Amino acid sequence: MRITDAKVVVTSPGRNFVTLKVTTDEGLTGLGDATLNGRELAVASYLSDHVAPLLTGLDPHRIEDTWQYLYRGAYWRRGPVTMAAVAAVDVALWDIKAQAAGLPLYQLLGGACRDRIATYGHANGRDIPELLDSVRARLAEGYPAVRVQTGVPGLRAVYGVHTTDGQGAAVAHQQARPLVEDWDTEAYLRHLPAVFEAVRAEFGPELPLLHDAHHRLTPVQAARLGKDLEPYRPFWLEDCTPAENQEALRPVRRHTTTPLAVGEVFNTVHDYRGLITEQLIDYARSAVTHFGGVTPLRKLFDFAAQYQVKAAIHGPEDISPVGMAAALHLDLAVHNFGIQEYSGHTPLTHEVFPHAYTFTDGHLHPGETPGLGVRLDEELAAAHPYEAAYLPVNRLQDGTLHDW
């Protein structure tokens, strides 16, 4: 079997997705997700101009060899654009291999370690009463765990607190320029313990609660927050300090027993090595899409397992159903699974990417369809072209651009 074509598809059924479609001379096609939120066209160009021409004629079964070829052959290794492109190829080849074997991908990864995949949903509100309503909605949908985010008194907008459509679903906003939000760290640190207190008072001590600090704190501030939240027993505090400085987590770990989760902006095992070996984190949060694919992420989780660090794959709305399916196959197969983030997608996105995975009673399963179990409706995808979109930036109340 040989690769005969590699095609990049960019579509925006509510938000932008970049998909690689690899075709073989035996008629099999594999899909890979290459979406990099806010920089989608950079990855599309990397794939079309630099990677796709190298794939024609290769044996799609040689997944490890192809991964090393693309990673080492670029010379400029790592980085989100490179690793998202490599991930798309890697996942597409796994999709082809599993289809050729007539098996769902998780069977090629060693088979299932569990019957279903526990998830957490996102609850948010502009204030505490609105957040409590959002938590109720997530529980009604069956989620066994909930991430809680709220607005902060005195701030106009806070990242992670979405405008909703009236039914509790987040409204995706395409932005031609980055939305500028304001920020006040002290106000946030004062407010958040009260948020957890209110949620615990309403829903009791058993509900696992998570929170994402979105890299906004210094080590001392993060340690203080972790300590202040200890009475409410969070499932984890996520991304408490900027990801570029892994040493920042040493003082955080030293001063709080709140579990720590990081990694959604990491691209290789080198970002994690010290964090894992020094036991500075409890959960590894990278996405298949941004970490180079199934091949390296499986290796990371096997490494992390030796230190009792668990897998908790990043699963926001900007990971396409292709990337989500790859995550679920890996979730089912790895022994040290922790929890899976699941935000869902718009109905239109599900139409563009019909898939075999299911969400029932707060749990996911990748399905038994050979391969990833996801297809791409190219005609429908073409009807929804790319729209410029950026993540927000933050300024302090005096107008200074924040230095996170």
Burial zone of 143 (CB within 10 Å; 0-12 exposed, 13-18 middle, 19+ buried)? buried
Give the Cα separation of 129 and 40 in Å (integer): 36
Query: How many angstroms separate the Cα of 311 from the Cα of each of 44, 331, 334?
Result: 28, 8, 8
Asked if 94 and 30 touch (Cβ cutoff 8 Å), the reply is yes
Give the Cα separation of 304 and 283 in Å (integer): 9
Among the listed residues 120, 119, 167, 123, the one whose alpha carbon sits nearest the alpha carbon of residue 149:
123
Give the Cα separation of 377 and 260 in Å (integer): 39
Kindly report the length of the chain. 404
Tokens of 333: 């197969």
Q: Which residue has the tokens 């990417």?
A: 353
Angle, CA of 289, 291 and 295, to the nearest 5°: 95
Tokens of 145: 């765990």
List the end-to-end C-alpha distance of the chain, in Å, as a whole number.
48
What amino acid is encoded at 286 in this protein? S
**Which active-site residues does the annotation give?**
159, 214
Query: How many angstroms separate the Cα of 298 from the Cα of each of 69, 273, 294, 336?
Result: 18, 15, 6, 11
Angle, CA of 367, 369 and 372, to the nearest 5°: 80
Query: How many angstroms separate the Cα of 189 from the Cα of each of 41, 138, 223, 313?
Result: 37, 25, 11, 27
